[in-house]
Every structure is written in structure tokens, then in C-alpha cells.
């Protein structure tokens, strides 16, 4: 069944639907999809660049505790 046929079938089904719990679920799904995060072109470009660096082995990673230690030491040394 093609997409248009599915849409038409769902529209017909919805016009006759009386189950409030199903309607609430569908409304929540609609709102969730409308509020879904879509990165901007600039953000996608940044992500693609980072993925490329990761795949090429050009990225370094640190444990969270190590990062906190470095940041705290920089702050102390800056004083």
C-alpha cells in the first residue's frame, strides 16, 4: 500500500474514532513529533566533521573525572 493510500485510510479511521484514550495517545504522538529537535545546517556540519575525525582516529577522549580535575586546576591556577 502506498503512502497516500495509508494516509487516506487513517483519515477515514480517525473521523470515526470515538476512543478518547487512543485520541489522546495520537495527540501526544503528534505533539512529540512537532517538538522533535532538528539540528540546523551548521550543527549538522559540525557533527559531520566530528564524526569524520572520530572515524579517522583524530579525536581524543577523557573520563569525566579527568575533565573536572583539569577544569578545577585551571580555575585555581587562574587566581
- What does each of the 79 residues of the chain score in pLDDT, given as a tens digit? 799 999 999 999 999 999 999 999 999 999 988 888 888 899 999 999 999 999 999 998 999 999 999 999 998 888 7
Q: Cell for 59?
A: 579525536
Q: Phi and psi (nearest 5°) for 37?
A: -75, 130
Signed CA dihedral, 55, 63, 42, 40: sign only: positive
**CA gap 71, 77 in Å, rounded:** 10
The residues, ordered by sequence, that sit 6+ positions from 3 with a Cβ below 8 Å of its Cβ are none
Residue in this structure with the C-alpha cell 502506498, named with its chain if needed: 2
What pLDDT, on the 0 to 100 scale, is given for residue 76? 87
Task: Please state the pTM of the whole predicted model.
Answer: 0.43
What pLDDT, on the 0 to 100 scale, is given for residue 38? 84
Amino acid at each position: 500500500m502506498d503512502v497516500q493510500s495509508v494516509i487516506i485510510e487513517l483519515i477515514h479511521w480517525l473521523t470515526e474514532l470515538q476512543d478518547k484514550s487512543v485520541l489522546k495517545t495520537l495527540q501526544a504522538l503528534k505533539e512529540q513529533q512537532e517538538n522533535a529537535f532538528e539540528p540546523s545546517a551548521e550543527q549538522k556540519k559540525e557533527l559531520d566533521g566530528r564524526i569524520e575525525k572520530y572515524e579517522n582516529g583524530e579525536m581524543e577522549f577523557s573520563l569525566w573525572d579527568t575533565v573536572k580535575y583539569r577544569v578545577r586546576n585551571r580555575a585555581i591556577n587562574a587566581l
